[in-house]
Amino acid sequence: MAAAATMMPFFGQRISSKNDLVPDWVSQEVSTGTTIMAVEYDGGVVIGADSRTTTGAYIANRVTDKLTPIHDRIFCCRSGSAADTQAIADVVTYQLGFHSIELDEPPLVETAANLFRASCYRYREELTAGILVAGWDRRKGGQVYCVPIGGMLVRQPVSVGGSGSTYIYGFMDSNYKPGLSKDQCLELTATALSLAMERDGSSGGVVRLATISEEGVERRVILGNQLPKLHREKQGFNRSCWNTTASIC
Amino acid sequence: MLGETGPEWLSEEVKTGTTIIAIEFNGGVVLGSDSRVSAGASVVNRVMNKLSPLHDKIYCALSGSAADAQTIAEMVNYQLDVHSIEIGEDPQVRSAATLVRNISYKYKEELSAHLIVAGWDRRDGGQVFATLNGLLTRQPFAVGGSGSSYVYGFVDAEYRRGMSKEECQQFVVNTLSLAMNRDGSSGGVAYIVTIDEHSTEEKVVLGNNLPTFFDQ
């Protein structure tokens, strides 16, 4: 909320949030509270995000698009400060576009991830940005790179981020296994995001999904009433991925 | 100031970082916990049993400050003994949970511990009560402790009504294993207690017997 802060600098500082004349959220930074997720499959990646942007307790945008294109087959999922992540994404989009023209071929996902990491690490003290970079290129196929706050870079087959991600680590660990198909990845992502949105106050709205592969980018939206239903009666979500010693499945 | 202040963990409060869970099935309850007690970055006890008996068929699961939680459990154990002598029969799970809640609420500013109370009694069968911050609520299952954040999604997706005793035990072991893998303050072994009309069974699942996942 850098814009609001400069528009009313005295307002925010002189009148405290305890004063009823001024609501809390005018002095709060705009953050994409968020849950984001990216999964690799053989031939591409599936990415997903919720759609809530908050300033304190107020939902500034309930239909945000946190899946931002960086290049034809490279996207990033943004979490943290909305302003910081938008600014970084704009810079990287420019740098990558330029690089791609120089190279005269589509850029690598790893290159895009490194450009994000370079900015996030250099300005780590000033920024609050957690980003997932995902896409497809001809050399390595579908790839997911995680650039969390602080600016490290690591490639992972599946990654979650944002405030809501803490609630779905257990679900993700138990339900992901290597070799899932594209549709299984879509279902996993949609279910994981729904679970996180139900538990995290800063995540909510609709589920935005995208699939990136050699053929191109396919986007879809799952509205609130169409979200995967939880609390199944008899069947658990996917019991066959257990490799436990005592099995009752 | 120069000079030795000693290792950091001498001055850190001892917390049961923890993951605890209790779930009700038709005819009883299953409780589970990890076994790690930490003081800052140091693990001071890697085999602590956080499932503490309040009565023959009522147990509680401890989390938060180790001292606070243990003291509450011991006080309620004593109060329940007195109460059960007064009424001349086994106490109800709700009574035990109410005693825990009364202490948690009265001293909520000084204490930082969360106990989940679960057990079996003749009137209502298996019951699970959460007493976080001084509230009292009965739930089909409850999770608590620092590790519980990581498994909310998992328990939301996997829990179904009408699970059998064995399914509940598997559910508890799976949940603990997932939480222990992600939470630095949870780890060690898994303790499972199953309470039903006929018996109270305590079990330990050692590290190498816990379920493993795709990245292990």
Q: What's the CATH number for A29-222?
A: 3.60.20.10
pLDDT tens sequence across A190-241:
999 999 999 998 999 999 999 999 999 999 999 988 887 765 443 444 443 3
pLDDT, tens digit, 9 for 90 and up, residues A13-67: 444 445 666 666 666 666 657 999 999 999 999 999 999 999 888 999 999 999 9
CB-CB under 8 Å, B211 with A230: no
Residues 143-182 of A with CB under 8 A from B: 166-178
**Whole-complex ipTM:** 0.81
For chain A, which residues make up each domain, given as ranges?
29-222
Which residues in chain B have their CB less than 8 angstroms from residue A172's CB? 153
Report the pLDDT value the prediction gives residue B4, as an integer from 0 to 100.
Answer: 57
- Across the interface, do B160 and A232 touch by the CB < 8 Å criterion? yes
pLDDT of residue A245: 34
Decide if A196 touches B, using CB distance below 8 A. yes
Residue B204 lies in a domain: yes
CA–CA distance, A168 with B154 (Å, rounded to integer): 7
Option in B149, B162, B181 nearest A167 (CB): B149
Is the predicted pLDDT of residue A242 greater than 50, yes or no? no
Please give the interface size between A and B, counted as residue pairs whose CB atoms are below 8 Å apart. Answer: 93
Minimum CA–CA partner of A195 in chain B: B153
pLDDT of A227 reads: 85
Boundaries of domain holding B166:
14-209
The pLDDT tens digits of the residues spanning A132-147 come to 999 999 999 999 999 9
Q: Which residue of A has its CA nearest to B160?
A: A233
Task: Please write the tens of the pLDDT for every residue from B16-35.
Answer: 689 999 999 999 999 999 99
Inside any domain, residue B31: yes
Q: Note the pLDDT tens digit of each residue in A65-85.
A: 999 999 999 999 999 999 999
Number of domains in chain B: 1
> Residue A169 is nearest to which of B166, B182, B211, comparing CB atoms?
B182
Nearest residue in chain A measured CA to CA from B163: A234
* Interface mutation vs chain B, best among A41, A165, A173, most B CBs within 10 Å: A173
Distance (Å, rounded) from C-alpha A45 to C-alpha A217? 10
The letter for the amino acid at A212 is I
Closest residue in chain A to residue B154, using alpha carbons only: A171
The CA distance from B180 to B162, in Å, is: 26
> Which residue in B19, B45, B62 sits closest to B180, CA to CA?
B19
A248:B166 CB<8 A: yes
Task: Report which residue type is found at A6.
Answer: T
pLDDT per residue rounded down to tens, chain B (216 residues): 454 566 766 666 666 689 999 999 999 999 999 999 988 888 999 999 999 999 999 999 999 998 999 999 999 999 999 999 999 999 999 999 999 999 999 999 999 899 999 999 999 999 999 998 899 999 999 999 999 999 999 999 999 999 999 999 999 999 999 999 999 999 999 999 999 999 999 999 998 999 998 877
pLDDT at B178: 96
**Predicted local distance difference test score (pLDDT) of residue A62:** 93
> Which site among A172, A174, A188, A249 would you substitute to test the B interface, given the most B Cβ atoms closer than 10 Å to its Cβ?
A174
Using the CB atoms, write b or e for A233-249: b if 16+ within 10 Å.
Answer: eeebbbeeebebeeeee
Give the per-residue pLDDT at B9. Answer: 66
Taking only the tens place, the pLDDT of each residue in A138-196 is 999 999 999 999 999 999 999 999 999 999 999 999 999 999 999 999 999 999 999 99
Q: What is the pLDDT of residue B213?
A: 87
Q: What is the CATH number of the domain that holds B90?
A: 3.60.20.10
pLDDT at A2 over 50: no
Residue A241 zone, left/alpha/beta (φ > 0; ψ -120 to 50; rest): alpha
Percent of chain A with pLDDT over 70: 79
Instruction: List the catalytic residue out of A34, A53, A54, A93.
Output: A34
Neighbours of B165 (CB within 10 A): 17
Angle at B32 between CA B30 and CA B35, to 5 degrees: 160
SS3 content of chain B, % helix, strand, coil (to 5): 35, 35, 30
Closest CB from A177, A198, A233 relative to B214: A177
Give the 3-state secondary structure of residue B147: helix
Residue B122 lies in a domain: yes
Q: Say whether A231 and B160 touch across the interface (CB within 8 A).
A: yes
pTM, rounded to two decimals = 0.82
Gap between the Cα atoms of A109 and A132, Å rounded: 11
Beta-carbon separation of B152 and A195 below 8 A = yes
Which pLDDT score is estimated for A229? 73
